[in-house]
Chains A and B, each alone.
Chain A
Amino acid sequence: MFLSQKLSVVIIGLFWMVFVSSAPLTLEITQGVVSAVPITIPDFNSDGLVDQNLAQIIRDDLRRSGRFQLTTTANLSDQTIEQPDIAYWRQQGVENLLLGQIKKINPQEYEVQFRVFDVIRVQQIMGFTIPSPQRYLRHTAHRISDLIYEKLLGQKGVFTTKIAYITSYRQADKTLYELQIADADGQQAQSTVRSAKPLMSPAWSPDGSKLAYVSFENRHSAIYIQELATGKRQKITAFAGINGAPAWSPDGRYLALTLSKGNNPDIYILQLNTGQLQQLTRHHAIDTEAVWSPDGRSIVFTSDRGGSPQLYKISMQGGGIQRLTFEGKYNASASFAPNGKLLAFVHQVNQDFRIAVLELSSKQLKILTQGKLDESPSFAPNGSMILYATQAQQNGIVAAVSVDGQVHQNLRVQQGSVREPVWSPYDKR
């Protein structure tokens, strides 16, 4: 055995020598360092005409994603985007460099130009010129963030997407409820619906043009669909009992709902163009919070038919209902990852409710958050982050966590308590 080992070593040695003499030395690189991508984004040359700091918006976007390490350097004003001194930046330890400039075309029109350099390899890796009206300059900055993100991480950015959420605040001894839509960074919030009665369960249509939500404005739950661009809305269901938890099918033609119709809640499917309703689950326990799988073939919902709330999966063709969660006594409010491989949901750990992900193939469950009462997880359209609501100083706030649990972000919300945030799909308009 020893001999043969020795022999094999010799033989390997021989092969090694042959290998060495005949082919280039090949080395295996297996470690590396997983890290945020270092990038340096000096402020843009803006002719001093623009009050917005696009570079700062981009830096914030990238920093917030947790995937970039923003390094600051002395801003060399004499650096031009046309002839950057790469050697200088290299000396500064810069690896990726974004240089941009804003040119005013006319009083309302600007042109944003940027280039991204790989300082290590000494080459430009990206460069764009984006004409932009003044009011869209912030959006243009988010677009640049998306482009950089995609270029350097290989993944589509979500900086131009929106989030929707319900916020409540007290005003004149009354609690007001608003359905708001904001940029992904929580900025530029706009109220879509305001009501003195509770608003619940906003849901983005797959094309991002509409929102479905539950309103109690008539002292009774009803499901509405509202066009964002026009503000036009439509009451979809107002059955007796519960009308709740709407969810769009991936093709946008159906809405999954929770209806009790005076009895106990079950999942129904509503065909939107015909209004045809079909009961999907039929159980004496509560079945609610339906979400569609990205392929549209199945629905995952929360049911306490097992004695405690757990996630179940039912095929759209009907038939078998499959329980998905077994860990813990509470697993609810599921959200499908865009790739269909992960489920995010609220998972009870001791007395705390936290956001967890379940890998459907391996059944591995991973807890991502550390809050006491985290709720309503929602996947970003690129699947990198999960938006959720959490409690901070008795208030609900919007937070985000990376799918691997490494990056945590809280979104700034201007006022009130925020619940049920949902991440919009990519803008497909």
Chain B
Amino acid sequence: MWKHIQQQPVAFIGSLFLHLLLIVVLTLNLDWIKPKDSVLPQLPIVHAKLFDESVVLEQLKQQPLDVENKRQAAERKKQQQEKEELQRKKAEQEKKRKAIEHQKQAQADAERKRKAIEHQKQAQADAERKRKAIEHQKQAQADAERKRKAIEHQKQAQADAERKRKAEERKKQEQADAERKRKAEERKKREQADAERKRKAEERKKREQADAERKRKAEERKKQAQADAERKRKAEERKKREQADAERKRKAEERKKQAQAEAKRKAEERKQREQLAREKALEEQLAQEYQQQQVQYYGRLIVQTINQNWYRPLGLSTHGLSCLMSVRVDPQGKVLSAKVIRSSGNQVFDRSAEKAVYRASPLPLPQEQELYQQFQELRFNFNPEV
């Protein structure tokens, strides 16, 4: 609004003025309309509005008639001018109004008011015309009357003027008050609006802040949640992993334990087996040792016997000679067969060995039948040392 005011101060002032005028008119009109008949006397009151006229009248009193005439003419002229001016102004006003109207379609009230004012003005103009006609009619009649009345009227007018002025002042005061009030009101409203705006802004801001906060918090929460979720997920994963690890570990442990147990069991078994085997081996070893001893003992006996019976011819060079004999004996040691399986190449030597075996028969053998197995086939390597 201030903008409009600032932009078109003339229009504003004009409109302001127009408004004031309108208020006055309306105020006066009320009086006019109601007691129509009784208005007449009060016309000057209406004219009283024309403050200049009263001034003129006063001047008239003081000045000659021609002056009066002149003044009247001037007054008329002036009135005419004023009227024209007024009309022009009205037209301008109208124009402006219309412009304003055009500008401010939203302000329907103002428009309506303005139209009412137009009607009033129309009526005013009509009343003016009437009044003039009457004026003209009663011009003559009115001299004395007028005079008397003029004085009365003057007085009245003065009083009225005074009243009016006071009313005016009051009105102005009121207007000013109203204006102030309005302004205060406006200011208040503005302030309120500002406060409201501010509050609202504040609120908005708060809201926004709150929103932001909420949002942030939500965000945070979200993040937190996400983080939590992530953590949770990770924790879950870790947990799973750990569980898996633990499971694996447990299984490995189990396996290990099983393996250990198995190994232990096996070791135990092996140990037992080994123990058994050792014992058996020991027994066998003992048996074998016994057998071995027997074999060795009887082996020595046999060797001795063969040696005693091995007659090598005197003068026979045995250097490098040796022969291997395979000999089969019966359980009593009797030589069943003796054959050279590797000849010395010297028949005499071979035969001496062969004869030695037969000459030594029966060979001394152990009594044990199972030992006989080791003696049933014997090999003699005849290999003289010299």
* A binding-site residues for B, Cβ under 8 Å: 13, 16-17, 20, 23-38, 66-67, 95, 118, 120-121, 125, 152-155, 384, 402-404, 406-407
Contacts and interface: CB of A to CB of B under 8 A. Distances in A.
Interface stretch (B185-193, B272-280, B306-314): B306-314
A260 B295 CA distance: 74
Nearest to B315: A67
A25 B307 contact: no
A384 B315 contact: yes
A28 B356 contact: no
Given A16-B292, A24-B326, A155-B348, 14 more contacts: A13-B292, A26-B378, A29-B356, A31-B307, A32-B307, A32-B310, A32-B384, A33-B310, A36-B314, A37-B311, A67-B314, A118-B351, A154-B348, A407-B315
A27 B313 contact: no
A31 B292 contact: no
A31 B313 contact: no
Contacts of B311: 32-35, 37-38
Contact of B383 (A13, A30, A120, A404): A30
Interface string B307-331: 1101111111000000010100000
A155 B384 CA distance: 19
Given A66-B314, A120-B359, A27 B302 contact: yes
A20 B313 contact: no
Given A28-B303, A29-B353, A32-B311, A121 B383 contact: no
Contact of B312 (A33, A118, A121): A33
Contact of B375 (A25, A34, A121): A25
Contact of A25 (B324, B354, B379): B379
Nearest to B323: A29
Given A17-B292, A95-B359, A29 B306 contact: yes
A155 B358 CA distance: 23
Contacts of B316: 34, 153-155
A28 B384 contact: no
A384 B315 CA distance: 8
Interface string B360-386: 000000000000001101111111110
Contact of A24 (B348, B378, B382, B385): B378
A153 B310 CA distance: 14
Nearest to B350: A154
Nearest to B302: A27
Contact of B384 (A30, A36, A95): A30
Interface string B284-311: 0000100110010001001100111011
Nearest to A36: B314
A404 to B, nearest CB: 6
A32 B380 contact: no
B380 A27 contact: yes
A20 B384 CA distance: 24
Contact of A27 (B291, B303, B349): B303
A338 to B, nearest CB: 14
Contacts of B302: 27
B355 interface: yes
27 contacts: A20-B291, A23-B379, A24-B378, A24-B379, A25-B379, A26-B378, A26-B381, A27-B299, A29-B306, A29-B353, A29-B356, A30-B383, A31-B307, A32-B384, A34-B314, A35-B312, A36-B313, A36-B314, A37-B313, A37-B314, A95-B355, A118-B351, A152-B313, A153-B315, A153-B348, A154-B313, A384-B315
B314 A35 contact: yes
A121 B374 CA distance: 24
B346 interface: yes
Nearest to A31: B307
6 smallest beta-carbon distances between A and B, as pairs: A32-B310, A154-B348, A26-B379, A31-B307, A24-B377, A120-B358
A28 B382 CA distance: 6
A16 to B, nearest CB: 7
A302 to B, nearest CB: 29
Contacts of A13: 292
A31 B384 contact: yes
A228 to B, nearest CB: 30
Contacts of A28: 303, 380-381, 383
A71 to B, nearest CB: 13
A27 B292 contact: no
B347 interface: yes
Contacts of B358: 120-121
Contacts of A121: 354-355, 358
A27 B354 contact: no
A369 B22 CA distance: 198
A31 B378 CA distance: 18
Contacts of A29: 303, 306-307, 310, 353, 356, 380-383
Contacts of A95: 355, 359
B346 A154 contact: yes
Contacts of B355: 95, 118, 120-121
Contacts of B377: 24-25
Nearest to A23: B379
Interface in B27-55: none
Contacts of A153: 313, 315-316, 348
Nearest to A34: B312
